[in-house]
Structure 1
Amino acid sequence: MSEKIAVVTGGGTGVGKAITKALVGDGFQVVITGRRESVLQESAKEIDANAVHAVACDVSDRAAVAALFATVEKTFGRLDLLVNNAGVFSPSVPLEELPAEEWNKAVGANLTGSFFCIQEAFRIMKAQTPRGGRIINNGSISATTPRPNSAPYTATKHAITGLTKSASLDGRMFDIAVGQIDIGNAASDMTAKMSGGVTQADGSKKPEPTIDAGHIARAVSYMASLPLDANVLTMTVMANQMPFVGRG
């Protein structure tokens, strides 16, 4: 098959949907996954029903992830790109008040799910001919800098950085390139509240600027376009006026 094959988790909405559009424009066949079948099907039809394939999957479920990648391998015979984009926020409450189930939900969706998907991608990419492929993890600005009352999200995104580096090291001898994109305030349903005010480090609430998710999609498209002997290990794409650089 001449077309390249990609899997985008959380590919039915927001940033994942924008990434899917860009990859289709680059000639990929894209398998999008998420928990809501109806949302995935609508997005596939909207983007390109011939190039986007919807497969529902909860990435925190090990068996469901194995079934997802088995379907990809059976349908297409290979995998060239995995974009680990799926993730959830937790309630913005003092960390001592956070219910245990919210912590577990964040770890499952943001970290464990990415690990499960990388495991399955490695298995396919090591065995296929030609060997190798690329994995891009969504790290978020929170992979380096927290917001107030964001311990679960921040902890999982810091962990994604470690997972990216470890997988990059383990994959390079098999022509698997693993990198990370750290996103700052891409406009989506998840960031809609930012225009109304977000808690800052000093406890005040201020609106924060966002950027079009298409900018993120173009960055991922660039990372995916590289030959496997080149890699973007980390890239930050952010709203230029957001309070991240410096002490604000």
Structure 2
Amino acid sequence: MSEGRVAVVTGAGSGIGRAVALELLGAGWSVALTGRRTERLEETAALATSGGTREGAPEDIAPESAPGDGTESPSANAPLVVRADVSRPDDVAALFAAVRERFGRLDLLFNNAGTFGPGGVPVEDLAYEAWRHVVDTNLNGAFLCAQAAYRQMKEQDPQGGRIINNGSISAHTPRPHSAPYTATKHALTGLTKALALDGRPYRIAVSQIDIGNAATDMTARMQTGALQANGQTAPEPVMDVSDVARTVRHMAELPLEANVQFATVLATAMPYVGRG
């Protein structure tokens, strides 16, 4: 059990973020759920609190709102819901202020929020606005959250904490027509290494998990047919997203003296290793 540990999960309203948040909550973590859609975050919180597994209702804090007026005392086990766009510095600052106000410290940031961008668009036809949106979300958003987490982990007592970045196997190998996503995920690997190095003096461990074909809404099309490098369209196997969540939890619960620097978790038979 991990009572007393505090995590922030970005992109917690669906998919991998939701699965990781529920896994951590089930293990006794206190978790702040963040994303751009409050209703999806509240669905995640409701899943965590249903069936008597958690007490109290989720607390909803918009970035522009004060962290609390002192009129309520939510259960320590209730997830904290904070609507935020990670590409906006003011939203990120308000998110981490709310976490500090509610929980007093931060032990884990799971930097998960991301977007693939427009699918099937050749690079020569890609609008700059589409490129910029992916970069702002996947790379700039990860940096802003990591920076805010780093500052809090460095200043808190006891010092230190852990950041896990969601890299994707696109940090290694691209899919067709995926230049923005692939470029940001390669860049995230560099950010992970730099943060890991800079965090050493402050007991801040930074790592990356590269995921391939976890069964989520984002990968639903993989099961019906995905464009392959040879120009053909073929269905691809997927894996249960809970297997990813358990891997993240394992990485998160290591002592700060140990770190899984990079982990790759993928559907065993997906076309990635070798020639497909």
- Same fold? TM cut 0.5: yes
CA contact (8 A) 1:140 1:184 kept: yes
- Matched positions, count: 247
CA contact (8 A) 1:28 1:51 kept: no
CA distance in 2, matches of 1:222, 1:39: 26
Give 2:222's aligned residue.
Answer: 194
Query: Which digits, 9 at most, give the CA deviation of each residue in 1:35-70, with x for residues without a partner?
Result: 001111121011124432110000000111011001
Give 1:39's aligned residue.
Answer: 40
Deviation, 1:75, is 1.3
Query: Which digits, 9 at most, give the CA deviation of each residue in 1:156-208, with x for residues without a partner?
Result: 00011000000000001100000000000000010011111101111110000
Give 1:130's aligned residue.
Answer: 158
More helix by share: 1
Give 1:19's aligned residue.
Answer: 20
CA distance in 1, matches of 2:172, 2:193: 14
How high is the sequence identity, in percent, across the aligned residues? 59
Give 1:239's aligned residue.
Answer: 267
Asked whether 1:212 is paired with 2:245, we answer: no
Give 1:69's aligned residue.
Answer: 96
CA distance in 2, matches of 1:179, 1:26: 21
CA distance in 1, matches of 2:239, 2:39: 27
CA distance in 2, matches of 1:138, 1:12: 15
TM-score, with length taken from structure 2: 0.88
Asked whether 1:82 is paired with 2:83, we answer: no
Deviating runs (4+, > 3 A) in structure 1? Answer: none
Give 2:66's aligned residue.
Answer: none
Larger mean Cα displacement after TM superposition, 178-187 or 24-33: 24-33
CA contact (8 A) 1:111 1:160 kept: yes
Structure 1 residues without counterparts, runs of 5 or longer: none
Structure 2 residues without counterparts, runs of 5 or longer: 50-56, 58-76
Give 2:213's aligned residue.
Answer: 185
Query: Which digits, 9 at most, give the CA deviation of each residue in 1:118-169, with x for residues without a partner?
Result: 0000110000010000000000010000000000000000011000000000
CA distance in 2, matches of 1:18, 1:71: 22
Give 1:111's aligned residue.
Answer: 139
Rg larger in structure: 2
CA distance in 1, matches of 2:253, 2:226: 35
Amino acid aligned to 2:203:
D
Of 70, 81, 98, 1:54 maps to 81
Give 2:199's aligned residue.
Answer: 171
TM-score, with length taken from structure 1: 0.98
Amino acid aligned to 1:82:
L
